[in-house]
Amino acid sequence: MFSQPANAEIRKLQEDENQVVYQSRQKLFDRNNQTWQAIAFKRITQEGENHFKIRLSGFPGATEIAHPQLLTVMIPTGQTFKAEDVSEEAFANGNPPGNIGQYDFDAIISKLPKELEIVFSIPTKNDQEVKLAVSPLSIQEWKKVAAKAKL
């Protein structure tokens, strides 16, 4: 499994006078060469920062992500980290579509290597796992988004 080079930029979206979102969007590929969109983002309000999160979106109907289950992050050194599934908070009815998962990376983004490819393992409803390769360039950009602290 090979990751694609990151080809993105950090965007600043002014949601209202006292709230901005910094985000980075990348394409990731699973082992079946299906495209997934990864949106790494951090919302900042006048009251303070929110957690750094990553939303993963696959093609509708192709995969049913199991909610709420932890996302596993695998590092080539053998280390693994878990990201909490916070998908329900992203949708008004608390019921995320099966092809979308949102995960809290606030506690682990600083632990991810900047020079090594990592793999996300997403649990699905059919007890399979979708594995997504993530390039070092994506991780470097995500760390920049996570470091944002001002409106």
For residues 36 and 65, the answer to whether their CB atoms sit within 8 Å is no
Among left, alpha and beta (phi > 0; psi -120 to 50; other), residue 86 is alpha
pLDDT tens-place string over residues 22-81:
999 999 999 889 999 999 999 998 888 788 999 999 999 888 999 999 999 999 999 999
**What distance in Å separates the CA atoms of residue 68 and residue 51, rounded to the nearest whole number?**
18
Cβ-contact 36, 58 below 8 angstroms: yes
Q: Look at residue 3 in the predicted model and tell me its pLDDT.
A: 54
Question: Which domains are present in the chain?
Answer: 10-146 (2.60.40)
Token pair belonging to 60: 């509708």
pTM attached to this predicted model? 0.90
**What does the pLDDT look like over 59-74, one tens digit per residue?**
998 889 999 999 999 9
Average pLDDT over residues 84-95: 89
Helices (H) and strands (E) in the chain, counts: 1, 10
Tens of pLDDT, residues 91-112: 888 889 999 999 999 999 999 9
